Amino acid sequence: MIRLAVEALARRGETAQLTPQDSHYLRVVMRKKPGDAIEVLTRDGTVWLCRLMEAGRVRFDEPLAQNGAPRRRIMLFQALLKGDRFGEVVERGTEAGIVAFIPLVTARTIVRQVSGNKQTRWETIAKEASEQSRAFEVPRIGDLVTIDDIAVPEDHEGYVLDPRAPAQSAWLTSSTKPVALAVGPEGGFTPEEYHKLYAKGFQPISLGPRVYRAENAGAFAAVLFLQDVTPTFGQDC
């Protein structure tokens, strides 16, 4: 069943107005008509069974059981990348289960500013990816920060991808604590930046012997954090 994400909160029997884009998608692309059922994810993370109405509105009929929500919440501090590759980070990361993306300026980032249009585009990508992947919330896109700005939030476990770290899977545990993950740009963090991150409580981890593109590494790590079975990267250290 089609799922849309809306900013509204809901109670049984209430209605809400869809955006023109969502209304067009349902009516023209998906050929939906009044009376058809869809799922709607509201701002508080509740998934509702809804009925389409006239004039681009939906009626909230009943909340649905929420099975399959991620066992850990992951926020990603991702260094800015060239072109629209940060948008790829948001799309793949949302599908993998990341719930917040914080763009990061580092010594080796080429792009060093975020325009309002780009921020809006990333928010749209997050919304569409959450709908496609049937996520339980639309990820938040945070403000641009620097290495000096970031810290491991209270009650989180902090990790930073470091190719120099031992290729081990001991960091993939049954813990359900939220995760703050830092991923560098093309070329990685500088030694000084790694030192600052370690001092802030980020622990070095490796994804094994393979080298991943910067736009893929965060999503791949998120999948490992969220799975139930711990993988083995060759011989554990």
pLDDT digits (tens, 9 = 90+) for 102-136: 999 999 998 888 888 999 999 999 999 999 998 88
Question: CA torsion 114→118→122→128, rounded to 10°?
Answer: 180
Average pLDDT of the residues in 8-24: 90
CATH assignment of 74-226, among 3.20.20.150, 3.30.56.10, 1.10.10.10, 3.40.1280.10:
3.40.1280.10
Helix (H) or strand (E) holding 126: helix 116-132
Helix (H) or strand (E) holding 102: strand 98-105
3-state helix, strand, coil in the chain (%, to 5): 25, 25, 50
Minimal CA–CA distance to 179: which of 32, 71, 67? 71
Residue 14 above 60 pLDDT?
A: yes
pLDDT at 169 (0 to 100): 59
Where do you find CATH 2.40.240.20 in the chain?
A: 3-63
Q: How many CB atoms lie within 10 A of CB 63?
A: 14
Average pLDDT of the residues in 186-211: 91
Average pLDDT of the residues in 199-224: 90
pLDDT at 168 (0 to 100): 58
Residue 72 above 70 pLDDT?
A: yes
pLDDT at 230 (0 to 100): 46
pLDDT at 224 (0 to 100): 86
Residues 6+ apart with CB under 8 A from 226: 70, 71, 72, 74, 96, 97
Average pLDDT of the residues in 208-233: 79
Q: pTM of this prediction?
A: 0.85
Q: Does domain 3-63 have CATH number 3.30.110.70?
A: no
Where do you find CATH 3.40.1280.10 in the chain?
A: 74-226
pLDDT at 110 (0 to 100): 85
Residue 194 above 70 pLDDT?
A: yes
Burial classification of residue 217, based on how many CB atoms lie within 10 Å of its CB (0-12 exposed, 13-18 middle, 19 or more buried)? buried
